[in-house]
Amino acid sequence: MDQEQLRKRAELLPVLKEMLEPGESLVQLALRYILNYQEISTVIPGNKNLKQLIENLSASEKRISAEKVEKLEALWEETLQADPLGW
């Protein structure tokens, strides 16, 4: 990953963290966003330990709000669509 990609990712973190509910992790936000789409019936996140497994599973206990989905999609359109981050 080059320095520009690293800088861009670092700039996005505070923006995403502002969207979190109390006690919600970025992982849970991401999983809830993905599961929000009717076409998606399951996700297969990686787990290295029991804590991560519990965190991942708990993401399905609550739905993401329509307002938060709109904010995430606006972030994509304004910040990432024209210049996406690489893997």
Kindly tell me if the per-residue pLDDT of 1 is higher than 80.
no
Q: pLDDT, tens digit, for every residue of 33-69? A: 999 999 998 899 989 999 999 999 999 999 999 999 9
Mean pLDDT, range 60-80, rounded to an integer: 94
Q: Could you give the CA distance from residue 18 to residue 46 in angstroms, rounded to a whole number?
A: 25
Q: Is the dihedral of CA 70, 75, 76, 77 positive or negative?
A: positive
Tokens of 46: 């990686």
Which of 25, 29, 39, 31 shows the shortest CA–CA distance to 71?
29
Query: What are the structural domain ranges in the chain?
Result: 3-80
